[in-house]
Amino acid sequence: MSMPDDQPVSNGSRPTTADGGSSSKNDPLIGREYGIYRIVRRLGSGGMGVVYEALDTRLSRTVAIKMLADELTDNDDTLRRFENEARATARLNHPNVVTIHEFGHAENHRFLVMELMPGGSVQDHLRNHGSLSWEKATAIIAGACRGLAVAHEAGLIHRDIKPANLLLSADGTVKLGDFGLARSVHRSNSGITSTGHVLGTPAFMSPEQCRAEMLEPRSDLYSLGATYYHLLTSRFPYPVGDPMQVMFSHCSAPVPDPRHVNKDIPDECAAIVMKAMAKKRGDRHADAMTMLAELEQILSATLALSAAVQTPVPRLVKPTIPPVPVGDDSPSLTITDRRMPIISEKPPARRRFFMIGGSSVGIILLAGIGYVVTRGKGKSEGTQEEQKPVPPDPVPPVVTAQNPGKALTVVRRKSLPGHSGEIRTVRFSPDGKLLATAGEDLHVRLWKMPEGTEHYVLNGHKGRAYCAAFAPDNRTVATGDDQGIRFWGATSGEQLRNVSGLGAIFDVAFSHDGNQLAAAKGYAGLVVWTRNGRVGLNPLHNASLGNQLAVAIEYTADDRSIDIVTFQGAIHRFDAITGKEVDSVRRLRGIRISTSYGPHGELVAFGTGRGPMLWKPLTKEPPVSLASGIGEMNAVAFSPDGGTLAYGPGSDGSFWLRHLATKQETRHRTDNFLRSVAFSPDGKTLVTGGGHEGEVILWDVREAD
Amino acid sequence: MDQQNTHLNQITTRWPLITDPAQFVLRYATAIRCYLAAIIRDPHDLEDVIQDFLARVIERGLVQENAVRGRFRDYLKVSVRNAALSHLRRRSDNQAADGQLETIPAENDAGSAADNEWIAEWRGTMLGQALEKLEDQERLAPAGRLYLTLTLARDHPEADSVTLAELAAKKSGRPMTPEAFRKQLSRARTVLANLLVDEVRRTIENATPEQIDEELAELGLQELVRPFRE
């Protein structure tokens, strides 16, 4: 085994864009022009070449130019890595990733033009200013984690995460840089070059990288954990010296505890370091979002504490939650503003109910947790005063004991042709004018309602399309498939954005104010983003559910919480801002097939071989069987007024409408096995989907005799 | 340099699958550390021995002082043990380290605590490597779901195939019948068994099927592998 010359051993230094770097008067490139770029001064040098500050004479902006060293231009491996860096980074467009402007060559020089990072690297900052507080270290690693999450989402592994590659903008934002070693996660990439050199920086290399084995995103998380250790302690995780010894330590020595160096480091920070640096990949954080969630929890607690005592927290970087831009359809209330009511408000005295149009997973307001809802765009504050719920027209009023509503029946109106596979989701837009159907034939279709005419076919899903959700403004649709999330224009049918590399997304939900998007990501649990414009997403937090499979997701009416329903029959409630789990309910015995939430906080769930069971979460009451002996249920939905439950299928493909107050039931036949069901927001239409041939049927809802 | 090349050539000739002795040492780093920790009490001596051993590997490859044929596992243990002895003997010239020397087990220490530690870590490394290879294969070609079925069966030992098939279907986004799950699980175990056999074969000079069986048995892997070997 040998180490290439450009891999530093002891300090991990790499080409940087450090401000205040040495400028050499003898450097022949100073003052020269390469195309539109005039070299101004030398910033630093590293293994691959020299980095200069330059002036873009066309746009009158300063940039950084990394010039590949002359002696390396004939080296195919190096050239390939240089170009690789350009392409890899250019694909990423995120506040926590250094922007690449251009890659080119002139006069036998190959160069990379990128944004100038006047703050230098984190390594430079440590060298010039000494150690960091744990708060600053955590904020830096959280920013880096966001950049890493984006890279991993795009299918890239960085392979050289370390303090020298975490760069600081003028406002202190941390950005990932130097993707020269990045490689696609889908390629059989190992940590070794074609000439047998191990790649990376030994002080921060994962065990599998040391062994030149196949790398994957969790390899980057190890390096980030090692970097975090370094920022917290100003020491390397393992004593640096001979590279082989360092690598041997990464492979075999106990995971270092930063508290052994500094006992004032919080336990939570140490836990993150030690988990990220687990020897086995399976023992580390599942992905960057999971690690980010834990980091955000620490930072949120710091923010809450500082707000409570009104003590400002010194910040090296911007607040971790970016504001929603003004001018978008989403509310003008910024996320940071939303945080304050959670800290300073007391829980309201009485609970309120609120409902939006039907879907197989409808509105949630769990009993026992007090939230006051006021209708209106963006308003989600709670108060202690009683407020009358203001449901949107034309949603029918919620039934009460005094006014239990009427029993319902349905009459078949028409079939909606087009799908050829099982229909996994049927969902109305909030205004009821569109219906989305997601099917195993890889398509999502949009239909105009109430006519039931085809509006658009949303093509391009990878694998099965599991879910669809409309943004509160009715303009945007988010769909989930086997590889991630896609955004579509509801009126144009055009795909606006593809967020791939997430894995299977079983359910998505917009917050009611449109500021957030949450996804049920199977065994990876909950993932939450803040929205940046119509399709922009900034990772906020995520939460793992261990060995439970997250299959359905919904925001509470006030957007303060997110409920995740698992295949194993549990409900977990998370704080929408911090991602911290705040409550959970006991599991329903048997395997949950589908759920629906009623307007009074009740929940209906199904178990294998059982009929529907009515269940009130967070109470001591046991589930109540609504009917028995009717086999496995696939779909359930409450009517908008909460008085009726639609569920099915029976063994012959039929489904039922059951009026809960009177237990009056009507049975209806379909030609196919029911898989999904939903009421329109006005309660006048029922949609059933499912079966093996993609049948979608519209039914007119009427009062039963 | 010639001597180094000669030694390295010997290694690669005898174990042609080992192309880089240093990489191989890193592969079994945990076993080496645990074995040394079992025979050397002083943690500072432990780190010094490791440093010496690694420096020798880099400089000279895995130089054999006594001809040890057959299993690389034995060879590596002898090399590590000799590195410990050499270091402690050098120390005993200046310091009283005879007590430490006495704790170094004999070359043939089968059944000793240190040897048991060595075997346990070696076995763990082989299993871990085989599982990670299976996971890596699935990452590149997810359709097989072999790693998925194996880990689901491992994590839910009480679940029946109906339950496991549902879990696999949900996690992979593709339907799976209980029968298909059972078939894939059997296939996964076969693939894992063969990966384990490959790992073992790498570490035995001119491995014969009997030698592989013997090594699997000594490592406690035979019962795991035998029903599924192709």
Q: Which of A608-612, A670-674, B148-152 has the lowest mean pLDDT?
A: A608-612
pLDDT score of A550: 81
pLDDT score of A43: 86
| Closest alpha carbon within chain B to A247 | B26
Ramachandran class of A626: left when φ > 0, alpha when ψ lies in -120 to 50, beta otherwise: alpha
pLDDT score of A429: 93
Indicate the residue of B30, B54, B173 with minimum beta-carbon distance to A245: B54
DSSP A578: T
pLDDT in tens, A279-304: 999 899 999 999 999 998 888 877 65
pLDDT score of A387: 36
C-alpha distance from B56 to closest chain A C-alpha (Å) = 11
Rounded (5°) CA angle A327-A329-A334: 65
pLDDT score of A235: 93
| Closest alpha carbon within chain B to A484 | B173
**Rounded distance between C-alpha atoms, residue A260 and residue A394, angstroms:** 63
The verdict on a CB contact (< 8 Å) between B170 and A506 is: yes
ipTM of this complex: 0.84
pLDDT at A369 over 90: no
C-alpha distance from B29 to closest chain A C-alpha (Å) = 5
A569: chain B residues, CB-CB within 8 Å: none
pLDDT at B17 over 60: no
- Most confident option among A328-337, A618-627, A632-641: A632-641
Q: What is the residue whose two structure tokens read 């000669």?
A: B6
In chain A, the percentage of residues whose pLDDT exceeds 90 is 27
pLDDT at A555 over 80: yes
**Rounded distance between C-alpha atoms, residue A447 and residue A433, angstroms:** 8
pLDDT band at A336 (very low <50, low <70, confident <90, very high): very low
pLDDT score of A676: 85
Helix, strand, coil percentages in chain B from 3-state DSSP, rounded to 5: 75, 0, 25
The verdict on a CB contact (< 8 Å) between B155 and A547 is: yes
- Most confident option among A301-310, A566-575, A586-595: A566-575
Q: Write A165-168 long-range contacts (CB < 8 A, 24+).
A: A165/A14, A165/A121, A166/A121, A166/A122, A166/A123, A166/A140, A166/A227, A167/A16, A167/A17, A167/A98, A167/A117, A167/A119, A167/A120, A167/A121, A167/A122, A168/A117, A168/A118, A168/A119, A168/A120, A168/A121, A168/A122, A168/A125, A168/A316
Q: Which of A499-508, A690-699, B1-10 has the lowest mean pLDDT?
A: B1-10
**Rounded distance between C-alpha atoms, residue A652 and residue A377, angstroms:** 44
pLDDT score of A347: 31
Q: Is A482 on the interface with B (CB under 8 A)?
A: yes
pLDDT score of B90: 79
In chain B, the percentage of residues whose pLDDT exceeds 90 is 32
pLDDT band at A630 (very low <50, low <70, confident <90, very high): low
Greater confidence (B95 vs A426) lies with A426
Residues B167-172 have a mean pLDDT of 90
Farthest-apart Cα atoms in chain B, separation? 70
pLDDT in tens, A14-56: 333 333 344 456 788 899 888 899 999 998 876 667 889 999 9
Q: How many CB atoms lie within 10 A of CB A667?
A: 14
Q: Check: CB of residue A156 under 8 Å from CB of residue A88.
A: yes
Greater confidence (B106 vs A606) lies with B106
- Interface list for B 161-190 with A (CB within 8 A): 163, 166-167, 170-174
The verdict on a CB contact (< 8 Å) between A242 and B171 is: no
The verdict on a CB contact (< 8 Å) between B51 and A242 is: yes
pLDDT score of A604: 61
pLDDT in tens, A214-262: 889 999 999 999 999 999 999 999 987 788 889 999 999 999 999 999 9
C-alpha distance from A702 to closest chain B C-alpha (Å) = 36
Provide the Cα torsion B31, B34, B37, B39; round to 10°. Answer: -60
Identify the H or E element spanning A305: helix A288-309
Provide the Cα torsion B32, B36, B37, B42; round to 10°. Answer: -140
pLDDT at B97 over 60: no
pLDDT band at B182 (very low <50, low <70, confident <90, very high): very high
**Rounded distance between C-alpha atoms, residue A50 and residue B148, angstroms:** 46
Q: Which of A209-218, A233-242, A401-410, A454-463 has the lowest mean pLDDT?
A: A401-410
Indicate the residue of B27, B155, B170 with minimum beta-carbon distance to A551: B170
Residues A327-340 have a mean pLDDT of 28
C-alpha distance from B58 to closest chain A C-alpha (Å) = 8
The number of C-beta contacts closer than 8 angstroms across A and B is 74
Domain boundaries, chain A: 122-309, 408-703
pLDDT score of A602: 59
pLDDT band at B177 (very low <50, low <70, confident <90, very high): very high
Q: Which residues pair with A555 in a beta bridge?
A: A562
C-alpha distance from A548 to closest chain B C-alpha (Å) = 9
Q: Which of the following is catalytic: A6, A124, A160, A575?
A: A160
- Structural fold of domain A122-309: Transferase(Phosphotransferase); domain 1 (1.10.510)
Q: Is A506 on the interface with B (CB under 8 A)?
A: yes
| Closest alpha carbon within chain B to A187 | B140
Q: Check: CB of residue A222 under 8 Å from CB of residue A284.
A: yes
Q: Is A233 exposed, middle or buried (0-12, 13-18, 19+ CB in 10 A)?
A: buried
pLDDT at A268 over 90: yes
The verdict on a CB contact (< 8 Å) between A251 and B29 is: yes
Testing the interface with B: which of A248, A482, A485, A523 to mutate, by most B Cβ within 10 A?
Answer: A248
**Rounded distance between C-alpha atoms, residue A258 and residue A251, angstroms:** 18
pLDDT band at A213 (very low <50, low <70, confident <90, very high): confident
Greater confidence (A368 vs A450) lies with A450
Greater confidence (B70 vs A552) lies with A552
Q: Is B38 on the interface with A (CB under 8 A)?
A: no
pLDDT at A475 over 60: yes
| Closest alpha carbon within chain B to A198 | B23
Closest to A229 in 3D by CA, of A253, A208, A211: A253
Please give the CATH superfamily to which domain A408-703 belongs.
YVTN repeat-like/Quinoprotein amine dehydrogenase (2.130.10.10)
The verdict on a CB contact (< 8 Å) between B163 and A504 is: no
Testing the interface with A: which of B170, B172, B174, B202 to mutate, by most A Cβ within 10 A?
Answer: B170
Q: Check: CB of residue A438 under 8 Å from CB of residue A444.
A: yes
Residues B15-19 have a mean pLDDT of 53
| Closest alpha carbon within chain A to B37 | A253
Q: Is B86 on the interface with A (CB under 8 A)?
A: no
- Interface list for B 42-61 with A (CB within 8 A): 50-51, 54-55, 57-58
Q: What is the residue whose two structure tokens read 């991993």?
A: A152
pLDDT score of A651: 59
Is there a catalytic annotation at residue A160? yes
C-alpha distance from A522 to closest chain B C-alpha (Å) = 6
pLDDT score of A322: 34
pLDDT score of A396: 63
Greater confidence (A47 vs A535) lies with A535
pLDDT score of A380: 34
pLDDT at A346 over 60: no
Q: Is A590 exposed, middle or buried (0-12, 13-18, 19+ CB in 10 A)?
A: middle
B50: chain A residues, CB-CB within 8 Å: 245, 248
Q: Is A547 on the interface with B (CB under 8 A)?
A: yes
pLDDT at B60 over 80: no
The verdict on a CB contact (< 8 Å) between B22 and A188 is: no
> Whole-number mean pLDDT of chain A?
74
pLDDT at B179 over 90: yes
**Rounded distance between C-alpha atoms, residue B125 and residue B117, angstroms:** 12
Q: Is A526 exposed, middle or buried (0-12, 13-18, 19+ CB in 10 A)?
A: buried
Residues A162-166 have a mean pLDDT of 93
A505: chain B residues, CB-CB within 8 Å: none
> Whole-number mean pLDDT of chain B?
81
**Rounded distance between C-alpha atoms, residue A536 and residue A496, angstroms:** 10
pLDDT score of A479: 94
**Rounded distance between C-alpha atoms, residue A256 and residue A271, angstroms:** 11
| Closest alpha carbon within chain A to B8 | A1
Q: How many CB atoms lie within 10 A of CB A53?
A: 19
In chain B, the percentage of residues whose pLDDT exceeds 70 is 81
C-alpha distance from B18 to closest chain A C-alpha (Å) = 12
Indicate the residue of A211, A252, A567 with minimum beta-carbon distance to B23: A211
The verdict on a CB contact (< 8 Å) between A1 and B163 is: no
Q: How many CB atoms lie within 10 A of CB A465?
A: 31
The verdict on a CB contact (< 8 Å) between A464 and B58 is: no
Helix, strand, coil percentages in chain A from 3-state DSSP, rounded to 5: 20, 30, 50
SS3 readout for A157-200:
ECCCCCHHHEEECCCCCEEECCCCCCEECCCCCECECCCCEECC
pLDDT score of A563: 82
